């Protein structure tokens, strides 16, 4: 094993006396290369590809109140090939990161402050935010693409070296929202954005050569806060959910969410369709952060995601003064997301809903080879009560009605798992689940692999990393043939 510290980014934080700058959310500033990670347990020779994890790391003293999603994006990658694994981590060289590194101070206020508190114009549907590109990460056109959940530029990086490759050149003026979707069969990337100006949402398609091929307005009644989208072989699914900014407070420049007395609405649009082609469906009011899969079955489109039973929770009891609302919206045990299925009948316009489990779970994954098909298995994260961390995972078998679980252990938290198919895999769960766990008791982190067919048995191998990493939101997996194109 060869460890090289490439760089240490200088921080100007005066204190980490904040709930989300401690424990699993403690920030770190060293960038490493590690060749041939040591492993506790043998690394399988039939896993070949890259796991990439996006995290948030606050570098400079915040302007006003701090939210963990304000932190600068940092990618962590583990490349698996021939029974070996290499690790790298790098800050995402966003425009905002580079400006603040030059001035050695924060220039933008975060999510919890009014836009006027920022010292420079910024990004995001809210306005005057720093585009940290710290929310999601996918691989498209052979490159890493990172995105910001309030709509930003979209940044490319080399998947093997994590060298910066600049902004994508097709991003519209309203940016790219958190979750883009890559169709592995066609190589297309699907995306949407939202803003405070009519028509309030747009939807687009980028082809396998990274060229914007389609971009169309999705008219909404007003500003909304969609986070994710879904797709089938022929359609894309966008949403208009009833949790969005309070219009009266918005007039005063206050971006506070409110659960409105409205149904959930879903827009089903042909992949290259326009507003006139949309079929709208209504469903029970909720908010949903993430969808796992969608597919066509006869006249129906079937969508799976996480239905929040309490999308507007009360204050978080025991939170530091001023953080009561923030900590409430970060606690999944207050939001109560449950695995849920929606069935939209394109012929009759009817919506049928079904709750699939009463467990509080979120951040799901499937074997992406089965995207746009009826899938048998869903893997989900089990949130920690009171915190935006995950202390276990589940595997739902929708055919046999079974659910397996695995708990990481006290003080151990995992990142979003991704499914990595075995080379020449023969069935849907023939592969591995990949995650990075952080043990706050030992102040250490490690990459772990699970046999996806037997998650209850625990990790089959553990690869210690050179430092504890900060927590964050999303991760992705790409096979080597998706990278070396």
Opening angle at CA 472, ends 469 and 477, nearest 5? 90
Specify the pLDDT at position 485: 63
Question: CA–CA separation, 232 vs 371, rounded Å?
Answer: 8
Specify the pLDDT at position 326: 96
Confirm if 95 and 131 have CB atoms less than 8 A apart: yes
Torsion angle (degrees, nearest 10) of CA 346, 348, 349, 355 = -90
Instruction: Using the predicted structure, report yes or no on whether residue 36 has a pLDDT greater than 70.
Output: yes
Specify the pLDDT at position 285: 98
Question: CA–CA separation, 9 vs 401, rounded Å?
Answer: 49
Structure tokens at 54: 């996006």
* DSSP 8-state class, residue 126: S
Specify the pLDDT at position 189: 98
Structure tokens at 421: 């198919």
Selection from 185, 144, 131 nearest residue 476 by Cα: 144
Q: Which domain holds residue 196?
A: 2-483
Burial group, residue 410, by CB count within 10 angstroms (0-12, 13-18, 19+) = exposed
Confirm if 343 and 351 have CB atoms less than 8 A apart: yes
Opening angle at CA 102, ends 53 and 124, nearest 5? 55
Q: How many domains does the chain have?
A: 1
Specify the pLDDT at position 467: 96
Question: What is the value of pTM for the model shown?
Answer: 0.97
- Whole-number average pLDDT of the chain: 97
Question: CA–CA separation, 61 vs 12, rounded Å?
Answer: 6
Burial group, residue 276, by CB count within 10 angstroms (0-12, 13-18, 19+) = exposed
What are 297-349's pLDDT values in tens digits? 999 999 999 999 999 999 999 999 999 999 999 999 999 999 999 999 999 99
Question: CA–CA separation, 376 vs 311, rounded Å?
Answer: 28
Band (pLDDT 50/70/90 cuts) for residue 405 is very high
How much of the chain, in percent, has pLDDT values that exceed 90? 98
Band (pLDDT 50/70/90 cuts) for residue 116 is confident
The CATH number given to whatever domain includes residue 338 is 2.130.10.10
Specify the pLDDT at position 484: 77
What are 357-368's pLDDT values in tens digits? 999 999 999 999
Confirm if 105 and 130 have CB atoms less than 8 A apart: no
Selection from 289, 191, 281 nearest residue 236 by Cα: 191
Question: CA–CA separation, 60 vs 15, rounded Å?
Answer: 10
């Amino acid at each position: 094993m060869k460890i090289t510290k490439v760089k240490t980014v200088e921080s100007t934080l005066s204190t980490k006396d904040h709930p989300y700058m401690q424990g699993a959310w403690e920030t770190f500033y060293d960038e490493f290369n590690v060749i041939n990670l040591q492993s506790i347990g043998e690394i399988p020779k039939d896993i070949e590809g890259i796991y990439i994890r996006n995290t948030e790391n606050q570098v400079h003293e915040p302007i006003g109140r701090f939210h963990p999603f304000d932190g600068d994006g940092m990618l962590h990658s583990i490349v698996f090939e021939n029974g070996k694994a290499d690790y790298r981590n790098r800050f995402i060289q966003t425009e905002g990161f580079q400006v603040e590194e030059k001035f050695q101070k924060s220039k933008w206020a975060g999510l919890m402050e009014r836009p006027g508190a920022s010292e420079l114009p910024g990004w995001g549907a809210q306005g005057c935010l720093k585009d940290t590109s710290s929310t999601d990460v996918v691989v498209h056109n052979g490159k890493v693409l990172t995105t910001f959940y309030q709509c930003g530029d979209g940044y490319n990086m080399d998947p093997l070296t994590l060298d910066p490759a600049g902004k994508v050149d097709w991003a519209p003026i309203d940016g790219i929202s958190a979750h883009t979707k890559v169709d592995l069969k066609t190589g297309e990337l699907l995306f949407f954005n939202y803003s405070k100006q009519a028509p309030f949402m747009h939807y687009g398609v980028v082809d396998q050569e990274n060229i914007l091929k389609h971009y169309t307005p999705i008219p909404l009644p007003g500003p909304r806060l969609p986070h994710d989208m879904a797709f089938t072989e022929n359609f894309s699914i966008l949403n208009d959910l009833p949790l969005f900014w309070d219009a009266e407070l918005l007039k005063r420049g206050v971006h506070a969410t409110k659960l409105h007395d409205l149904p959930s609405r879903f827009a089903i649009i042909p992949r290259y369709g326009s507003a006139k082609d949309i079929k709208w469906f209504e469903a029970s009011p909720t908010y949903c952060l993430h969808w796992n899969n969608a597919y066509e079955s006869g006249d129906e489109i079937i969508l799976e995601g996480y239905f929040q039973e309490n999308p507007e929770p009360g204050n978080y009891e025991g939170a530091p003064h001023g953080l009561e609302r923030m900590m409430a919206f970060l606690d999944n045990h207050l939001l109560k997301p449950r695995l849920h299925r929606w069935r939209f009948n394109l012929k009759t316009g009817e919506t049928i809903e079904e709750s699939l489990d009463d467990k509080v779970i979120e951040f799901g994954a499937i074997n992406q080879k089965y995207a746009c098909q009826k899938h048998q298995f869903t893997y989900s994260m089990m949130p920690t009560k009171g915190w935006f961390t995950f202390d276990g995972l589940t595997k739902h078998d929708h055919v046999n009605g079974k659910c397996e679980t695995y708990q990481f252990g006290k003080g151990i938290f995992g990142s979003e798992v991704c499914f990595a198919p075995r080379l020449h895999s023969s069935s849907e769960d023939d592969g591995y689940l990949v995650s990075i766990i952080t043990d706050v008791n030992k102040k250490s982190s490690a990459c772990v692999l699970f046999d996806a067919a037997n998650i209850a048995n625990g990790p089959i191998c553990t690869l210690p990393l050179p430092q504890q990493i900060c927590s964050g939101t999303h991760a992705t997996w790409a096979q080597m043939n998706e990278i070396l194109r």
